[in-house]
Structure 1
């Protein structure tokens, strides 16, 4: 009888072990906001922790929230396209990019990602970018997921690992942990490099300035700068002339973070940018 009892106990233990989900799957299913996979940098892990602290505190989504002079929750605004935002001016919280800005400011000790979702994805501080076609396999906790098109990225969230993310999703809800919505208009992800800035950095001027697929005003649009933006320039070349505010310039700069071109007439500095090499044909 003793042998039989031991045998039954062993079989029961093996059955429980076989039926139990892997540790990562259990973590993903229990709704915790935390780093759910290995491999992230210390800064990325701190960014996850900062975002998750706001999730765990039950902070509200608030349209426009988090975009004050300093990173942190602010009262929001009414989104004219969303009736659910009527109470956002009364709610201290974050919108999607406000949460990302705060998380990385806490993690890095400086305001690395002050801007909206598109600016955060196209940041010159990118250590790498991943397309939607690559899936979630190459991603690490702290990577930033974006949705939309190259012309209009409308949402951003912090990846936790195990197919989960922390996000400020929409008016009327609190910050939350969600399954990554990799279907629909999921665009890809970016990994942030909080180290020293590298490359040839310049600042644009004006608003609504479009980058293009080629050095021509007739080329397809890629992304519009909503206002003055820091850009990284890889090289420049003489191409189609552009006239604006009484000035004409035929130089164009290639921006590797956008995979696109912009006329130098919209870049602060001389017509031919100092220190930037000419592009090879």
Structure 2
């Protein structure tokens, strides 16, 4: 599948495709800023990768910030003054006076804070189709397979118009529509719910000199382990090729798989686990990756 990336400078395109108002029975009133403790915004289920948990925490820290159409799409991630939504000028008339986020602006900010990189700089459609995905879930799967930090999207025929961040327990954090603030909501399944995407856990700041590097796994349903041994507990499963950060590598248990034998294992800090170098693209002993102490 080809993915469309929207540059930060494409302000006109973003303004036309940023999240429009999400239909609701009644327009929510503008609430006074809520405290995090009162909002219930937090990681509400186990199993998420550290980068996803950091994204949830960053989004939750914005509870009470205004929704502002096209907000959050400045040169750098973060709240900005919005624009009048041409599809809903009445409700969005005050958005140019409100410093905040639209739905994709909030998602962009959350993952920029979590990874140290502006990896989701675009509208909701491009975020849902991101090349940084490690897994995708259809609308018919509901919330069963989802983990905190997954991105939920709404739209038909590929025309995604809204995106939010899953918290767990059927809850999500979102910048929903003009006149409201960043809030916790129940996940809205049905209607034009399009599914969800999981951002690759290996996405993060590039390590400095002597601190490893970014590589790609290969194969399907490959597990990491809590120790550099296949007999140690499993930690995380890569359903397909995934970009990962490797901090260091060491010689440990010899493993034979896919017709390859190797005793080198790599430590993945974002997953807090080890993976045999057999499933890392590159030589048996990775170039530029230091030996674990």
**TM-score (normalised: structure 2):** 0.56
What is aligned with 2:133? 126
Aligned to 1:53: 61
More helix by share: 1
Structure 2 residue runs of 5 or longer lacking an equivalent are: 1-37, 204-213, 218-293
Report how many residues are paired.
169
Q: In structure 1, how many angstroms separate the alpha carbons of the residues matched to 2:141 and 2:182?
A: 27
1:40 to 40, 48, 58: 48
Contact 2:104/2:123 (8 A) holds in 1 = yes
State the alpha-carbon separation in 2 of the partners of residues 36 and 93 from structure 1: 25
Tell me if the contact between 2:58 and 2:114 (Cα under 8 Å) persists in the aligned partners. Answer: yes
Higher relative contact order (CA 8 A, sep 6+): 2
1:80 Cα deviation from its structure 2 partner = 1.3
Q: Which residue number corresponds to residue 84 of structure 2?
A: 78
| 8 Å CA contact retained: 1:144, 1:189 | yes
Checking the alignment, whether the CA contact within 8 Å between 1:96 and 1:168 is kept in structure 2 is yes
Q: Which digits, 9 at most, give the CA deviation of each residue in 1:117-158, with x for residues without a partner?
A: 010010111000000111100000000000002331000000
Q: 1:90 to 1:164 in 2, by over 3 A?
A: same
Q: Deviations over 1:48-93 (max 9, x none)?
A: 00000001xx100000000000000000000011111000000000
Q: CA–CA distance in 2 between the matches of 1:159 and 1:86?
A: 29
Question: 1:80-124: per-residue Cα shift (whole Å, max 9, x none)?
Answer: 111110000000000000000000000000001000001001011
Report 1:169-208 matches (<5 A).
169-193=176-200, 194-195=202-203, 196=214
Matched, 1:160 2:148: no
**Bigger-Rg structure (1/2):** 1
- Pairwise CA RMSD: 1.7
Seen in structure 2, the aligned counterparts of structure 1 residues 197 and 156 have a Cα distance that, compared at 3 Å, is farther
1:6-31 superposed Cα distances (whole Å, 9 cap, x missing partner): xxxxxxxxxxxxxxxxxxxxxxxx84
SS at match of 2:185: strand
1 CA distance for matches of 2:116 and 2:133? 17
CA distance in 1, matches of 2:180, 2:140: 30
1:101 corresponds to 2:108: yes
> Are the aligned partners of 2:39 and 2:183 in contact in 1 as well (CA < 8 Å)?
no
Q: Which of residues 69, 73, 80 is equivalent to 1:67?
A: 73
Segments ≥4 residues shifted beyond 2 Å? 194-199
C-alpha change, 1:198 and 1:52, in structure 2 (3 Å) is same
Change beyond 3 A, Cα 1:65–1:197? farther
Structure 1 distance, partners of 2:186, 2:143, is 12
Q: Write out per-residue CA displacement over residues 183-230 of structure 1, whole angstroms, 9 at most, x where no aligned residue.
A: 11000000001434869xxxxxxxxxxxxxxxxxxxxxxxxxxxxxxx
